[in-house]
Structure 1
Amino acid sequence: MNLKPGVGKTTSAVWLAHALHESGMSPLLVDGDPAASALRWSELAGGFPFPVIALPVGDVHRRVNDFLGNRQAVVLDAPQLEDHPRIARSIMRYAGEWIVPVTPAPIELDRMAPIRGEMADVQSLRAEPARSAVLLNRTNRPDATRTGPDADAREALTERGFEVLATQIARLDLYSQSFGNSVQAKGSAYMDFAEELIKRQDEA
């Protein structure tokens, strides 16, 4: 989830779903964006090895379980909050883990205050609070570092009270330009992302 488009929400969702699949789980990918980018990606790739459904509606939280079946995980691609707040908030009501992809740039960090407000509003509607974490995305380095802009962003977000995942996603064309190609998550940072989320779920 995020306020804005173009921050890597769909890329993160699609690669995460593939990573979960390659880890032996059976995910369901829910495309909640009216632009239907995840669904279109699946079509261009000749289909994904797991179901992808389009559900760009304001009551996603009431409908997802109708499609769940025996799936072990649900990955929801939320639209930008600024343009589709009703759909995005409904997805947040359903999801037990909210992931905010953030590029380590000053303008992106400035947008975190309104995101925190949205989180607080939706938490008040839930029976149980959701977990939330920031995914540093399109970073300058593939690994976390002690110096440089990526480390500065991690520190700034932590100081503002956000949990930042250990996994970072490097700025790679492989991730952002893979529409129409089969996605192979094995060996990528998204496999680390999936493993970190699975561990968080187990701990919870």
Structure 2
Amino acid sequence: MIYSFLNQKGGVGKTTLSIHTASEFARRGQKVLLIDADPQGSALAWSNFRESPEFTVVGMPKATIHKEIEMLAEDYDHVVIDGPPRVTELARSIILASDIVIIPLQPSPMDVWASAETVDLVKEAQTFRPKIKVCMAVNRKIANTAIGRDVRKALKELKVPVLKSDIGQRVAYAESAAIGSTVLGKRMSKPAQEVKKFVNELRRIT
């Protein structure tokens, strides 16, 4: 299964969600490839700090991913693609390579507006590959705030499923990234439980 994390807007947490999704699959005994397709190379940089690699990370910010994905994926149970910001040919290639496109966004009006452009890109790709699935994921949600609740109402206009498993705004994600780790080391912690629920929901969609 090929999962891609894309949004036209930067800073929505694509890399954090990509890394944690790949890590959670690996901890479940799956063989996982994470493709860093963002020219900034954040996931690749993160991987250089790891002490014990759980999964393979490669950099591939090229608009030929959809042509090469079959060969890249053949030895893996799951492929996770960390996509770039901005609407580009690279983003289109990633969508065509995907089984499911996850659009992360923070609970803000600007993120909702930017996400609409990514939704349009996916719909465009679905004319060529109708089986591509798409969903939205609320990331960096601050608990018990009005905007955290209201974002779901705004997203209804996009007519795209929104995952119920929100990811909270937690310093643990930034702290773990700084040392090439994830929040999943402490399996019973709240951040780890969030990720597990998030991945469980993704699996139900696919």
The two structures have a TM-score, normalised by structure 1, of 0.88
Runs of 4+ with >3 A deviation: none
1:79 and 2:79 correspond: no
- Relative to structure 1, the CA distance from residue 184 to residue 174 in structure 2 (aligned partners, 3 Å threshold; closer, same or farther) is closer
State the match for 1:133 in structure 2: 135
- Mapping 1:1-204, distance limit 5 Å: 1-46=6-51, 48-82=53-87, 85-126=88-129, 128-141=130-143, 148-177=146-175, 178-185=177-184, 186-187=187-188, 188=192, 189-201=194-206
Deviation at 1:65, TM superposition (A): 2.6
Paired amino acid for 1:190: V
Deviations 1:104-159 (A, max 9, x none): 11111222332222222222232x33111110000012xxx7x7221211122124
1:98 touches 1:130 (CA, 8 Å); kept in 2? Answer: yes
Q: What is the deviation of 1:64?
A: 2.4
Q: Size of the alignment, in residue pairs?
A: 194
Indicate if the aligned counterparts of 2:36 and 2:58 stay in contact, CA closer than 8 A.
yes
**Structure 2 unaligned regions, length at least 5:** 1-5
Letter of the 1:46 partner, please give it. Answer: E
**Are the aligned partners of 1:103 and 1:139 in contact in 2 as well (CA < 8 Å)?**
yes
The structural deviation recorded for 1:24 is 2.3
TM-score (norm: length of structure 2)? 0.87
Q: 1:47 to 1:129 in 2, by over 3 A?
A: same
Q: Secondary structure at the match of 1:81?
A: coil
SS at match of 1:35: coil
The alignment yields a C-alpha RMSD, in angstroms, of 1.8
Q: Structure 1: any 5+ residue segments left out of the alignment?
A: none
Structure 2: distance between partners of 1:181 and 1:51: 14
Percentage of matched positions with identical amino acids: 28
More off after superposition, 50-59 vs 153-162: 153-162
CA contact (8 A) 1:18 1:184 kept: no
